[in-house]
C-alpha cells in the first residue's frame, strides 16, 4: 500500500477559549492533497475561531497545527506560504483596481513583477475576469469580487485553500460557478480545500464532511460515512441529527 | 524567505500606500489645509501677542510664523501617524488587515513596512508644506531642507509607532474619537510646537515639565534644529528611544499569543 502524502492540514488536539468560554475543544483532523472538506456547523460552532487559528490571527498553546508538514508556531513563514484564503468578508481594497490588488498580494508573497503578471493573467483568464482587470473593485458586483479573491488566494500557488463561507450573499448562478470551479481545482491540481459553509447543497458526493458543533467535532468522513454514522439518507438530515436539531 | 522576498513585500506595502495617497486627492489637500490655516491665520493673529526672545537654533529675532513652522511639520506627522492608526483599525474591521497579517513574513516586519509607508506619505506632505511656507517668505538655510529629511523620518517613525500602538488597543472605529481628545490634542498643545519651553515655565512649572518630557516636543525640536542645519542630540536620543519603545509595544500588541489580538476577538 502506498504511504499517504503529507497532510496539507494537520490539526491535533486543538483547543481555544475566549476567557472562560471554550470555543474549540480537542479538535483533531487531517486534510490531504486532492481532498475537499466541507466544514459544516451552525452559528457559534467555532468555525471562524478555527479559521483564525489556522491563519494565525489567533494563537493557541493548546494543541498543534501543521500546514504541509510545517509547524504553524515554529515555522510560521513556511506554513503560511502554503496557505491561500478567502475570508467571509471581502478583504479587497475597494479603491484599487483588480490588478493593483493582485500585484499587492503577489508582492507580499515575494513574487517578482514578471512572474506575477503571468500568474495574474492565468488566474483571471480561468475565472473569466481578465477583461475586468483595470476596473476598480468598487465597480464589481459581489460575485466578481469573490472571483478576484479566489484568483488572489491562488496566486502564490498554495497547497491548502481555506474558504470561509465564500458564497454568502451571492445569487444562485454565481454561487454554483464558484462551487464548481473549486471542485474542479481540487480534481485537476490536487489542491486541498477546507470550505466552511452553511449551505448543504455545496457538498459534492466525493467531498469529505466535518461537522462542528459547540466547539467539538461531531462527524468527520466522506459523505457516505457521515450518512452511515447518523443512519440518515441525506446530508441535511445527518447535520440535523448531529447538531441536535439546530437549523443549518 | 529570502531578502528579495522582504524587499518586494516592503515595496509592495509602501507603493500601495503612496498610490492610495496620490489617487485620493482630497486626503492630500485636507492634510495640508490644517497646518496652512494655523500658519496663515493663527500665526498671523498671534504674531503681535507673543514676543519671542532669541534662542537656539535661531540667531536673531524671528517672526512667530517662523517659530511655529517646525511645530506644524510635526503636526502634519502627528496627524498622519494617527490617521495611519485609524486606517489600521478600519482595515481590521473591514478585513483587509487580515491579508497583510496572513502573509508569510514576520509580523514585526509587516508592521514596520506599514509604518514606513505612512512615514513616506507624511514626509511628502511636510515637504509640500515647507514649499508653500517658502513662498510665504519663511526661509530656512538650504542645507536645512536636506538635514530635515532624516529628522522627519525619525519623528515620523516615532509618531507612526505611537499610532500603531494605539491601533492595537482600539477595539472599534468608534473609539477613535477618544484618541483625538486624549492623545492628539494634549500632545500637540503640551509641546513646543506653538510656544517655547521657557514661555511655558513662566505660566506653570508643571506644564513646562510635561511639555519637556512629551515625545512630540522632542520630535518638534529635532525638526526645528535640523531645519537650521543643526543637531539637537537630546531630542535625537529621546525621539529614537521613544520610537523603539512604542514600536516594541506595538509589536507585542499585534502578537497573536501575547497581545491584544486574541482578547479582541477580531483581527
ipTM of the complex: 0.81
What is the domain extent for residue B213? Answer: 3-264
pLDDT digits (tens, 9 = 90+) for A43-82: 888 888 999 899 988 887 789 999 999 999 889 999 999 9
**How many residues appear in chain B?**
267
Q: What sections of chain A are H helices per DSSP?
A: 47-54, 76-81, 98-108, 113-126, 142-154, 172-189, 223-230, 235-242
What is the nearest CA distance from B96 to chain A, expressed in angstroms? 4
- d(CA A116, CA A156) in angstroms, rounded, equals 9
Q: Cell 475565472 appears where?
A: A127
The closest alpha carbon to A59, from A46, A76, A44, A47, belongs to: A76
The closest alpha carbon to B165, from B245, B256, B219, belongs to: B245
The closest alpha carbon to A230, from A215, A201, A209, A247, belongs to: A209
- Alpha-carbon torsion angle B138, B139, B140, B143, nearest 10: 140
Q: B262 contacts in A (CB within 8 Å)?
A: 58-59
Contact indicator for B213, B241 with CB cutoff of 8 Å:
no
Provide the grid cell at B28: 492630500
What is the nearest CA distance from B260 to chain A, expressed in angstroms? 10
Find the closest chain A residue to B6 by CA distance. Answer: A110
Find the closest chain A residue to B254 by CA distance. Answer: A57
Helix (H) or strand (E) holding A37: strand A36-40
Q: So what's the pLDDT on residue A26? A: 92
Question: Which residues does A61 contact at the CB level (< 8 Å), separation at least 6?
Answer: B257
Q: Is the confidence at residue A92, as pLDDT, over 60?
A: yes
- Alpha-carbon torsion angle A88, A91, A97, A100, nearest 10: -130
Interface A:B, Cβ pairs < 8 A: 94
Query: A74 — contact with chain B (CB < 8 Å)?
Result: no
Residue B26's Cβ-count burial label (10 Å; 0-12, 13-18, 19+) is exposed
Q: So what's the pLDDT on residue B176? A: 67
Rounded to the nearest 5 percent, the helix, strand and coil shares of chain A are: 40, 25, 35
Q: Cell 522576498 appears where?
A: B5
Contact indicator for B116, B17 with CB cutoff of 8 Å:
no
A211 vs B97, which has greater pLDDT? Answer: A211
Q: 3-state SS of B86-104? A: HHHHHHHHHCHHHHHHCCC
- Residue B201 backbone class (left: φ over 0; alpha: ψ -120 to 50; beta: rest): alpha
Q: A76 contacts in B (CB within 8 Å)?
A: 104, 106
Distances (CA, A) of B162 to A236, B80, B229, B243: 51, 11, 27, 8
Q: So what's the pLDDT on residue B53? A: 66
Provide the grid cell at A225: 460515512
Provide the grid cell at A110: 515575494
Average pLDDT over residues A158-187: 88
pLDDT digits (tens, 9 = 90+) for A61-72: 789 999 999 999
β-pair type (A64-67, A9-18):
antiparallel
Whether B16 sits inside 8 A of A59 (CB atoms) is: no
Give one DSSP letter per residue of A228-240, joined into a string. Answer: HHHT-SSHHHHHH
Whether B19 sits inside 8 A of A100 (CB atoms) is: yes
Q: Domain ranges in chain A?
A: 93-157
- d(CA B68, CA B144) in angstroms, rounded, equals 16
- d(CA A21, CA B232) in angstroms, rounded, equals 53
Q: B260 contacts in A (CB within 8 Å)?
A: none
Give one DSSP letter per residue of A50-83, joined into a string. Answer: HHHHHTTSS--SSSEEEETTEETTTSHHHHHHTE
Q: B113 contacts in A (CB within 8 Å)?
A: none
Whether B8 sits inside 8 A of A96 (CB atoms) is: no
Per-residue model confidence as pLDDT tens for chain B (267 residues):
688 999 999 999 988 888 887 777 777 788 888 889 888 888 777 776 666 666 777 777 777 888 889 999 999 999 888 877 777 777 766 667 788 888 899 888 988 898 898 899 899 999 999 999 999 888 888 988 999 999 999 999 999 999 888 887 776 656 667 777 788 888 988 898 888 877 777 778 888 888 889 999 999 999 999 999 889 999 999 999 999 999 999 888 877 665 545 444 443
Helix (H) or strand (E) holding B78: helix B64-94
Per-chain mean pLDDT for chain A = 89
Query: A56 — contact with chain B (CB < 8 Å)?
Result: yes
Q: So what's the pLDDT on residue B264? A: 46
- Residue A44: HSE in the Cβ half-sphere, 13 Å Cα cutoff: 6
β-pair type (A208-213, A36-40):
parallel
Q: So what's the pLDDT on residue B31? A: 80
The backbone torsions φ and ψ at residue A34, rounded to the nearest 5 degrees and listed phi first, read 80, 10
pLDDT digits (tens, 9 = 90+) for A231-246: 888 888 888 888 875 5
Q: So what's the pLDDT on residue A229? A: 87
- d(CA A168, CA A197) in angstroms, rounded, equals 9
Q: So what's the pLDDT on residue B263? A: 46
Amino acid at each position: 500500500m502506498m504511504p499517504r502524502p503529507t497532510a496539507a492540514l494537520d490539526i491535533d488536539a486543538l483547543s481555544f477559549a475566549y476567557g472562560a468560554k471554550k470555543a474549540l475543544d480537542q479538535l483533531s483532523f487531517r486534510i490531504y492533497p486532492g481532498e475537499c472538506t466541507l466544514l459544516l456547523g451552525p452559528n457559534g460552532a467555532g468555525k471562524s475561531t478555527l479559521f483564525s487559528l489556522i491563519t494565525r490571527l489567533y494563537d493557541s498553546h493548546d494543541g498543534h497545527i501543521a500546514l504541509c508538514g510545517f509547524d504553524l508556531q515554529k515555522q510560521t513563514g513556511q506554513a503560511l506560504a502554503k496557505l491561500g484564503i478567502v475570508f467571509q468578508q471581502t478583504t479587497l481594497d475597494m479603491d484599487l483596481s483588480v490588478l493593483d490588488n493582485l500585484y499587492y498580494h503577489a508582492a507580499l508573497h515575494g513574487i517578482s513583477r514578471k512572474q506575477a503578471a503571468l500568474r495574474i493573467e492565468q488566474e483571471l483568464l480561468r475565472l473569466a475576469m481578465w477583461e475586468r482587470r483595470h476596473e476598480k473593485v468598487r465597480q464589481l458586483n459581489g460575485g466578481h469580487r469573490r472571483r478576484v479573491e479566489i484568483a488572489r488566494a491562488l496566486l502564490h500557488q498554495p497547497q491548502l485553500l481555506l474558504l470561509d463561507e465564500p458564497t454568502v450573499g451571492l445569487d444562485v448562478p454565481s454561487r454554483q460557478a464558484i462551487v464548481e470551479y473549486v471542485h474542479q481545482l481540487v480534481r485537476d491540481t490536487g489542491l486541498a480545500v477546507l470550505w466552511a459553509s452553511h449551505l448543504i447543497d455545496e457538498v459534492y458526493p466525493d467531498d469529505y464532511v466535518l461537522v462542528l458543533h459547540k466547539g467539538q467535532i461531531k462527524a468527520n468522513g466522506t459523505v457516505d460515512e457521515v450518512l452511515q454514522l447518523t443512519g440518515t439518507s441525506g446530508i441535511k438530515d445527518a447535520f440535523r441529527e448531529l447538531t441536535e436539531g439546530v437549523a443549518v | 524567505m529570502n531578502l528579495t522576498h522582504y524587499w518586494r513585500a516592503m515595496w509592495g506595502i509602501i507603493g500601495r500606500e503612496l498610490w492610495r495617497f496620490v489617487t485620493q486627492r482630497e486626503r492630500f489637500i485636507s492634510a495640508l489645509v490644517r497646518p496652512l490655516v494655523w500658519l496663515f491665520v493663527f500665526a498671523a493673529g498671534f504674531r503681535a501677542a507673543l514676543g519671542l526672545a532669541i534662542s537656539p537654533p535661531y540667531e536673531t529675532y524671528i517672526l512667530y510664523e517662523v517659530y511655529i513652522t517646525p511645530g506644524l511639520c510635526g503636526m502634519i506627522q502627528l496627524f498622519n501617524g494617527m490617521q495611519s492608526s485609524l486606517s489600521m483599525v478600519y482595515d481590521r474591521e473591514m478585513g483587509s488587515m487580515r491579508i497583510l497579517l496572513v502573509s508569510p513574513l514576520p509580523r514585526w516586519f509587516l508592521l514596520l513596512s506599514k509604518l514606513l509607508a505612512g512615514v513616506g506619505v507624511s514626509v511628502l506632505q511636510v515637504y509640500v508644506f515647507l514649499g508653500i511656507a517658502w513662498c510665504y517668505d519663511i526661509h530656512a538655510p538650504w542645507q536645512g531642507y536636506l538635514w530635515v529629511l532624516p529628522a522627519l523620518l525619525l519623528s515620523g517613525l516615532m509618531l507612526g509607532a505611537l499610532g500603531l500602538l494605539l491601533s492595537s488597543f482600539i477595539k472599534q472605529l468608534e473609539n477613535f474619537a477618544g484618541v483625538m481628545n486624549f492623545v492628539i490634542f494634549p500632545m500637540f498643545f503640551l509641546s513646543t510646537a506653538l510656544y517655547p519651553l521657557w514661555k511655558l515655565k513662566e505660566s506653570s512649572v508643571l506644564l513646562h515639565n510635561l511639555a519637556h518630557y512629551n515625545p512630540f516636543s522632542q520630535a518638534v525640536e529635532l525638526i526645528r534644529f535640523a531645519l537650521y542645519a543643526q543637531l539637537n542630540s537630546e531630542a535625537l536620543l529621546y525621539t529614537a528611544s521613544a520610537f523603539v519603545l512604542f514600536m516594541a509595544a506595538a509589536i507585542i500588541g499585534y502578537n497573536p499569543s501575547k497581545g491584544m489580538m486574541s482578547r479582541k476577538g477580531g483581527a
